[in-house]
Structure 1
Amino acid sequence: MTTGTPPQPSGAPSAPRLVVLHGGELPPGRERIDGRPGLGAVDYATADTLGDALPGARVLLVWDLFTEALTAAWPKADALEWVHAATTGVDNLMFPGLVESGTAVTNSRGVFDRPIAETVLGFVISFAKGLHITRDLQRERTWKWRETEPVAGRHALVIGTGGIGRAIARMLSAAGMTVEGAGRTPRTGDPDFGTVVEASLAVPGAGLREALPRADYVVAAAPLTPATRELIGAEALGLMRPTARLINVGRGPTVVEEDLVRALRSGDIAGAALDVFAAEPLPPDSPLWSMPQVIVSPHMSGDVEGWKDELVRLFLDELDRYLAGEPLRNVVDKRRGYPAGH
Structure 2
Amino acid sequence: MRAIEAEAVVRYTDAGGLAEALSGADALFVYDFLSMAVPGAWHAADRLHWLHIASAGVDPVMFPGLRESEVVLTNSRGVFDDAIAEYVLGVVLAFAKGFARSLELQREVRWQHRESERIAGTEALVVGTGPIGRSIARLLRAAGMRVSGVGRRARTGDPDFGDVHASSELALHLPSADYVVAVAPLTEHTKGLFDAKAFAAMKPSARFVNVGRGELVVTADLVAALREGALAGAALDVFDIEPLPSESPLWTLPNVLVSPHMSGDFLGWRNALVEVFAGNFTRWRAGEALHNVVDKQLGYVPSVS
Normalised by the size of structure 2, how large is the TM-score?
Answer: 0.98
Q: CA deviation at 1:65?
A: 1.4
Q: Which residue of 2 aligns with 1:95?
A: 63
> Of the candidates 123, 138, 142, which is equivalent to residue 91 of structure 2?
123
Q: Which residue of 2 aligns with 1:161?
A: 129
CA distance in 2, matches of 1:130, 1:32: 48
Residue identity opposite 1:272 in structure 2:
A
Structure 2 SS opposite 1:138: helix
CA distance in 2, matches of 1:78, 1:186: 42
Residue identity opposite 2:155 in structure 1:
R
Q: CA deviation at 1:268?
A: 0.4
> Of the candidates 38, 46, 49, which is equivalent to residue 14 of structure 2?
46
Question: Percent same amino acid among aligned pairs?
Answer: 56
Cα pair 2:214 2:240 within 8 Å, conserved: yes
Note if 1:329 corresponds to 2:291. yes
Matches for 1:257-268 after TM superposition, within 5 Å:
257-268=219-230
Q: CA deviation at 1:52?
A: 0.6
> Of the candidates 68, 73, 89, which is equivalent to residue 36 of structure 2?
68
Note if 1:78 corresponds to 2:49. no
Q: CA deviation at 1:124?
A: 0.2
CA distance in 1, matches of 2:80, 2:195: 26
Note if 1:247 corresponds to 2:209. yes
Structure 1 SS opposite 2:12: strand
Q: Which residue of 2 aligns with 1:33?
A: 4
Q: Which residue of 2 aligns with 1:22?
A: none
Matches for 1:1-342 after TM superposition, within 5 Å:
30-35=1-6, 39-200=7-168, 207-341=169-303
* Residue segments in structure 2 that go unaligned for 5+ positions in a row: none
Q: CA deviation at 1:144?
A: 1.0
Normalised by the size of structure 1, how large is the TM-score?
Answer: 0.88
Q: CA deviation at 1:315?
A: 0.8
Structure 1 SS opposite 2:298: coil
* Residue segments in structure 1 that go unaligned for 5+ positions in a row: 1-29, 201-206
Q: CA deviation at 1:32?
A: 3.2
Residue identity opposite 1:305 in structure 2:
L
Structure 2 SS opposite 1:167: helix
CA distance in 1, matches of 2:295, 2:82: 23
CA distance in 1, matches of 2:287, 2:79: 24
**Greater share of helix:** 2
Q: Which runs of 4+ in 1 moved over 4 A?
A: none
Cα pair 2:226 2:232 within 8 Å, conserved: yes
Q: How many residues align?
A: 304
CA distance in 2, matches of 1:187, 1:328: 28
